[in-house]
Amino acid sequence: MLAIPLLAIGVLQVSAAELGLLGAARTVPFLLFALPAGALLDRMRRRPVMVFADFSRALLLATIPVAYAFGALTLWHLFVVVTVVGLLTVFFDVAYQSFLPSLVERAQLTEANAKLTTTRSAAEVIGPGAAGALVGAIGAASTVVIDAVSYFLSGLFCRGIRREEPVTATDGAPRSLRREIVEGLLFVVRHPVLGRIGMCAGLTNFASSMVTVLLPLYMIRSLDYSPGLVGLVLAIAGLGLVVGAVYAGRMSRRFGIGRTIVGSVVASGIGLVLIPFGGPTLSLPFLIGGKVLFGLSVPLFNIAQVSLRQSVTPHRLLGRMNASMRFMVWSTISLGSLAAGFLGEVIGLREALMVAAAIGALSWLTLMWSPVPALRELPSATQAAS
């Protein structure tokens, strides 16, 4: 998330538009392959897919420092690696969210998702700070080695899971992949809860992806921050992720699953508004405050809405539901990255950040006049459909 953009900025001297394309390359596979991935994963066990994806991502990322060492690193190399890593991430992410309900009971889904998000959030706090410091000390290309090692270790941990996973029973008749994809997508779009959550998350991700692309460039070129300071800002801001993940279960129990979802989206929009508010003369407090508030809100939203999604979906549709949601939500990340590059070139970096903030601040409106705000507890698939 940070080392490769810094490598592109510092070594390859990319423009805002090229950086936007690089950000889009990471998420374009969700637009192209999420739906078939979900249908395929509903036909197979998910853990072996997770292991394969992790080991393959480790190998791909390892090619970046090797190419740099031989003076052969190009922007096209980064595009290819980031795109294929994104494709493998499609399969891993859909697989793990579909695998989790096989490990815990429905009543434990919020707690389980909270624990997973806490560990990920802690990594997202440590990662940017470490990346910023390491880029300054050993260079961006060498820093990517650590990224590759992290995927290798993840693969080893996934291999260590020992739990029987159910496979959807079939009558032996040939199944149409296209028909299964359509079934999963229609299930999400027509569902009174899932459809609205998908719209809200899509708009929020569109806005946050714009910020992800623009913010490092804005801090380095407009605010004259060093790579170390960029990493420090993101690391401090990441503390919000950990706090939000730790308290997500408690918030859901106190305020209800629906109010937690709506309130976290409102708060995340306010955080995005704060980021460009201070301007060049007083930037640091607003950057940190906005990122902390956004980071605090994201795990509250994700834990609550992912648990809700898993709860209301029949087991046989879990892969396709998660893939359809990823298609709706992550495809907007690609569009946001492209929009960030275009607007950053045309109207300026700070102005483009303001556009992103406006979109994020209004995303909560998609949840109004839906069943979401009234939900207190996780319903079952039967209750949600009634």
Tokens 């980031």 map to which residue? 82
pLDDT of 76-93, one tens digit each?
999 999 999 999 998 998
360 domain-assigned: yes
66 domain-assigned: yes
20 domain-assigned: yes
pLDDT of 178-187, one tens digit each?
888 888 889 9
Nearest in space to 25 (alpha carbons), one of 102, 98, 86, 94: 86
Residue 174: what pLDDT? 59
* Structural domain boundaries enclosing 144: 3-160+177-385
219 domain-assigned: yes
Residue 77: what pLDDT? 93
- Ranges under pLDDT 70 in the chain: 125, 166-174, 380-386
Residue 172: what pLDDT? 54
62 domain-assigned: yes
Residue 210: what pLDDT? 93
CATH number at residue 28: 1.20.1250.20
Residue 386: what pLDDT? 45
198 domain-assigned: yes
Tell me the chain's radius of gyration from C-alpha atoms: 20
Q: How far apart are CA 234 and CA 185, in angstroms?
A: 35
130 domain-assigned: yes
167 domain-assigned: no
Measured from the Cβ of residue 190, the count of other Cβ atoms closer than 10 Å reads: 9
**Domain total of the chain:** 1
Residue 381: what pLDDT? 53
